[in-house]
Amino acid sequence: MVKKIEGIDYEGSIEAKLLAILTLQDYNEVHDTLTRELLNSMPILACRMHGYKNKWSTTKSIKNAYQAHSERLSQQIMRIYRTRNMLVHDGTSMPYSDYVLQNLHYYIDSFIRFLSTYYKLGYTSVNTMIDSIQFQEQMYLESLSVDASVNKSNVEKYVLRV
């Protein structure tokens, strides 16, 4: 399977080539071949590949996936808050508290990496950092408002946000 991915005519690493297979119409045949091969041995991976192919094929579908992810993230943060309140105020915890704690740990680590990255870029105020990322998000979402297919010339802009 790796040889099929590496063998496509696309410039870049194996990850970039896999992204091309998942997003670009030019590689539908390779995608279909890989998916068929994976159906027997790794059906969940085949299903995910198919899902990503659908989610990342147009700007509209990318924007929908982005908004759905944002909504799930918001719900998870609310779960963290509710779990914290139950623990602090009632002294009770839910059976899924360990998973909520793992997510909280991941979010805090991500936020610290975010702060560190922006600090290295010269930002010194947390509010300025957050304003900057919100502005970037707004610009990204506006770029996704143009209904277009993902192709070789825009895959990095829309999917990788480069």
The CA distance from 22 to 26, in Å, is 10
13-60 residue pLDDT tens: 888 899 999 999 889 999 999 999 999 899 999 999 999 998 988 999
Kindly state the tokens that stand for 126. Answer: 């947390």
User: What is the residue type of 136?
Assistant: Q
pLDDT of 68 higher than 90: yes
89-135 residue pLDDT tens: 888 878 888 888 899 999 999 999 999 999 999 999 999 999 999 99
The CA distance from 50 to 142, in Å, is 26
The CA distance from 78 to 34, in Å, is 39
pLDDT of 162 higher than 70: no
